[in-house]
Amino acid sequence: MTSAKSRPTARPSSGGRAVARTRTLLPGTEGAGTVKKTVLPGGLRVVTETLPTVRSVTFGIWAHVGSRDETPALGGATHYLEHLLFKGTERRSALDISAAVDAVGGEMNAFTAKEYTCYYARVLDTDLPLAVDVVCDMLTGSLIAPEDVDAERGVILEEIAMTEDDPGDCVHDLFAHTMLGDTPLGRPVLGTVDTVNALTADRVRRFYRKHYDPTRLVVAAAGNLDHAKVVRMVRRAFERAGALGEADATPRGPRTGSRAVRAGGRVEVHNRRTEQSHLILGVPGIARTDERRWAMGVLNTALGGGMSSRLFQEIREKRGLAYSVYSYTSSFADCGLFGVYAGCRPAVAQEVLALCRDELARVAQDGLTDDEISRAIGQLRGSTVLGLEDTGALMSRIGKSELCWGEQLSVDEMLARIGEVTPEQVRELARDVLGQRPSLSVIGPVKDRQAARLHDAVA
Catalytic residue ranges:
82
User: For the chain, how many residues are written?
Assistant: 459
Q: Which 8-state DSSP code applies to residue 437?
A: P
Who contacts 413 (Cβ-Cβ below 8 Å, separation ≥6)?
A: 2, 3, 4
Q: How many helices (H) and strands (E) does the chain have?
A: 16, 13
End-to-end CA distance of the chain: 38
Amino acid identity of residue 89, one-letter, is T
CB atoms within 10 A of CB 143: 17
Who contacts 260 (Cβ-Cβ below 8 Å, separation ≥6)?
A: 335
Q: Are the beta carbons of 120 and 90 closer than 8 angstroms? A: no
Here the contacts of 26-32 (C-beta below 8 Å, separation 24 or greater) are 26/408, 26/410, 29/410, 29/412, 31/411, 32/410, 32/411, 32/412
Report d(CA 168, CA 24) in Å as an integer: 43
The 3-state DSSP class for residue 362 equals helix
C-alpha pair distances (Å), 114 with each of 117, 191, 228, 333: 8, 11, 32, 10
Q: Where are the alpha helices (DSSP H) in 13-93?
A: 77-84
Report d(CA 31, CA 393) in Å as an integer: 15
Per-residue three-class SS string for 169-238? HHHHHHHHHHHHCCCCCCCCCCCCHHHHHHCCHHHHHHHHHHHCCHHHEEEEEEECCCHHHHHHHHHHHH
What are phi and psi for residue 51, nearest 5 degrees? -130, 90
C-alpha pair distances (Å), 245 with each of 62, 138, 248, 403: 17, 17, 9, 19
Q: Greatest CA separation found in the chain? A: 77
Q: Taking Cα atoms as reference points, which of 113, 59, 58, 61 lies closest to residue 85? A: 61
Q: Are the beta carbons of 213 and 250 closer than 8 angstroms? A: no
List residues bridging with 339 in a β-sheet: 282, 328
